[in-house]
Amino acid sequence: MTEAQRQEMEKNKRRCIRIKDRILLNYQRIPEEECKNRVEQFVSGQQVPWDQETVPHFKKIDGFLKKIRSDNEALAQVLGVLDEKLNFVIGRLVEMSGEEGGEMGKPTAVDISAAGMGFVSGECLSPGETLEMTLGLLPEHYFFKAFGRVIRSEKRNEQWFSAVEFLWMNEEAKEKLVEHIFARMRRLQKEMEEQN
């Protein structure tokens, strides 16, 4: 086996490790073409991979960033990204409930891996539908945007279980998700060892 094959096998193994967890989840259905366009904007850097529509309008730091940018462009860019991330988190914490896909403030039980996830909701999501999702990992409160496609949906009692494959999330989010999964597995293993 070549080194490249070994690395690809390790990458696939990391993607397929699945855990049961509780995360903050919000989703909305979007047309596939819009999904492709949004992903293209994220990849090209035209848009940041977090949802600006839910960010409350706080006093902007643009004026301060303009002054900093004249002295240190890199610092201004970092501060701008941090400001957007903080606004996103604050926006998610204060957003009103009732959006499609549930309430971001309530943890949702999921089966999750770096390749996709399954969750229960009160509505039927049809296989093939494209979703724009915001996920929040707990207890870290690390929020990220992902896009996915429903691959299976089945009725369970009065609820619907939907399996979703991830179509896109940025590399930083993917790594954070994998780290989160492994950390959760270590915590569960430690709890089991302490019980025995």
Give the chain's domains with CATH numbers: 16-47+100-195 (2.40.10.220)
Q: Where are the alpha helices (DSSP H) in 30-122?
A: 32-44, 62-71, 73-94
Burial 117-136 (b: 16+ CB within 10 A, else e): bbbebeeebeeebbbbbbbb
Taking CA atoms, 16 is separated from 57, 82, 182, in Å, by 39, 31, 12
| CA count, 13 A, side-chain hemisphere, 157 | 4
Mean residue pLDDT across the chain? 81
As a whole number of angstroms, the distance between CA 40 and CA 34 comes to 10
pLDDT tens-digit readout, 106-159? 889 999 999 999 999 999 999 999 999 989 888 877 888 899 999 999 999 889
pTM for this model (two decimals): 0.68
d(CA 189, CA 196): 11
